[in-house]
Amino acid sequence: MPDHAVIADVSTTLESVLTNAFLNLGPQPPVAEVHDLSGQISTNPARLTLFLFEVAEDASLRNRPALQSVVPPGLTLQKPPMPLLLRYLMTPWSGDRVTDHRILGRTLQTLYGDAIISGPSLMGGLANTSQALKVKLAPMEIDDRSRVWHAIQRPYRLSLIYEVRVVNLDATQTQTRPPISTRQLDSSTSAGSA
């Protein structure tokens, strides 16, 4: 199951899926790279930066029941995984606007065609699990996009914003309850005493 490294595993998975998708974009194909957008960003080779700018709890899955398993000598209850929603700013860097547009087009095409990433495409702790990442282009007003660029102190660039859900972060809290060995009925609260 996904542990504390699940956010990094999602980023690595996106990086791998997109880098593989770019392989047919010329003799020196672009690469996808997880980046914090600080410092100088190389354009040789061209690249698509994946900047994780927000991690939030997915409110639509907040109230899932506890996970139960019978482990002798009792019942083990584990808090359900925390459902996460990750938001990425994906920006092309090639030094050439036409190439930037091709990178964006291939990114859109790939993540539209593979909107659910699962199975052998998953990396790290997600590999060999039944997890599935749902990737969706996220609409964001130009003012909100500008705020993201302003927060990282860079001039605005054409970019895409994607949401990835459901990223399950396992809880560490478990509770073990002993088995019920006896049962006692209290006859003093019978129906006739009403």
- In order along its 194 residues, the chain shows pLDDT tens digits of 557 889 999 999 999 999 999 998 888 999 999 999 988 999 999 999 999 999 988 776 666 656 666 666 666 666 777 888 999 999 999 989 999 999 999 999 999 988 999 999 999 989 988 889 999 999 888 888 888 888 888 888 999 999 998 777 766 666 666 666 677 777 776 555 55
For residue 64, the model assigns a pLDDT of 60
Distance CA 1, CA 172 (A): 12
Calpha distance 131→66 (Å, rounded): 18
pLDDT attached to residue 176 = 65
Q: Angle of helix 6-21 relative to helix 97-113, nearest 10 degrees? A: 120
What residue ranges do the domains of the chain occupy?
Answer: 6-61+85-172
| pTM value surpassing 0.85 | no
Q: How many CA atoms lie within 13 A of 53 on its CB side?
A: 23
Dihedral (C-alpha) 33, 93, 45, 50: value to the nearest 10 degrees?
A: 10
